[in-house]
Amino acid sequence: MFARKLFLFFATASLAACVSGPRQVAQTSQPPIRPAPERVQPVPPPLAPRATNVVPQGLRDDLLALWRSFPGKTGIAVRRIDGDWVVGQRGGELFPQQSVSKLWVTMAVLEKVDRGELALDTPVTITRDDLTLFHQPLAARVAREGTVRETVRTLINEALTASDNSANDALLRTAGGPAVVNEFLRRKGLSDIRFGPGERLLQSGIAGVQWRQDLSAGRAFQAERERIPLDRRRNLLAAYVADPIDGASPEGIVDALARLARGELLSPTSTQLMLDTLGRTRSGPNRLKAGVPAGWKFLHKTGTGQDLPPVSTGYNDVGIMTAPDGTRYAVAVMLAETTASIPQRMQLMQAVSRAVGRWHQL
């Protein structure tokens, strides 16, 4: 009996110890509770959101280095079309456009098509009195046939893809003249872009030559220009570069190209026609185009001004680069004046388009 009571006593004591023991440990010796470590977020892909909202620093650095190392007055601008950044050097200054200005003539014509005032199959007559100077393949047909009739669509194709000056001036005449083009630019809010007086008056004014229609034949204009005193030619060319009557800023051009690509300037049909036509450009294959990465799409318009050795003026290329993933960049490289050789100018432009491709991928 005594043994049974003793067993019950020890069992009760052990049970009490089991109940009270944890409470004492909780009060005196349990380590503090630490929060769980934060979950590490995955690194976002290279194009989000940096590429849409922030200029890649490597691209900024590359463009600055290229700009610094190139002789002459150089302007560079790159805009991400579907983002909100632009980068470059001397982007807000006016540079001679030369044939880059054919873009605005075609846009003014296509707006009239959109309004029903013209049609793409509207015929346009070109005679010897309508010829211009410098690059004009159409002049050979006029010389053979006397009178040539082409549609607005064909003239757009020749003005943009072959940079035919006579085709462009025929479009300009059909649109209603320089005032109509400048009014188009103003209404569309395309700032820092001027349109000059047309090819004949622009080029003759730069050289100090009084225009006559017979200067459109062969090399008659070049012969007349050689008669102008060299000092006068230098002064006129310098004045043109300083305040070009057909001037545009690199940023103004990439903004306009971005708005064209987004369909903000013309109807969807006219926008597509213009972009498709620029994709077939034959001039300047070794300018920006030669540096565009494989697999990208590219469309562009070149411009080339007059030379007075050792200086060349108005050497340009502007266009739209589209990456395989659909990202689009508007690019403009404009050389107001330079003593660099043609291969060196081309290499600069190729380096710019290569830099765009390189920093898109990183």
Return the closest-CA partner of residue 211 out of 99, 102, 129: 129
Region of poorest pLDDT, from 20-34, 196-210, 319-333: 20-34
* Model pLDDT, residue 46: 44
- pLDDT for the residue 362: 64
In sequence order, the 6+-apart residues with CB closer than 8 A to the CB of 164 are: 135, 136, 137, 138, 158
Average pLDDT score over residue span 201-211? 97
Q: What is the pLDDT of residue 16?
A: 37
| Mean pLDDT, the chain, whole residue set | 89
How do residues 36-61 score in pLDDT, each as one tens digit? 444 444 444 444 444 467 999 999 99
Q: Taking the CA atoms of the chain, what radius of gyration do you get in angstroms?
A: 34
pLDDT at residue 52 in the model:
65
Distance CA 118, CA 115 (A): 8
State residue 183's pLDDT score: 98
User: Does 325 score more than 70 pLDDT?
Assistant: yes
Q: Identify the top-confidence range among 44-53, 79-88, 115-124.
A: 115-124
Q: Residue 247: beta bridge partners?
A: 96
Q: How many CB atoms within 10 Å of residue 18?
A: 9
How much is the pLDDT for 21?
39
The pLDDT of residue 10 is: 37
Considering only residues 35 and 273, tell me which one the structure prediction assigns the higher pLDDT: 273
Q: Where does residue 76 fall: left (phi above 0), alpha (psi -120 to 50 degrees), or beta otherwise?
A: beta
Model-level pTM?
A: 0.85
The proportion of the chain whose per-residue pLDDT surpasses 90, expressed as a percent, equals 83
At residue 84, the pLDDT reads 83
360 C-beta neighbours (distance < 10 Å), count = 21
Residue type, 68: R
The predicted-structure confidence for 332-357, as pLDDT tens digits, reads as follows 999 999 999 999 999 999 999 999 99
For the chain, which domains are there? 50-361 (3.40.710.10)
Kindly state the average pLDDT of the residues 272-286: 98
Alpha carbons within 13 angstroms on the beta-carbon side of residue 164 total 21
Q: What mean pLDDT comes out for the span 56-76? A: 97
pLDDT score of 14 more than 60: no
Whether residue 11 is predicted with pLDDT greater than 60 in this model: the reply is no
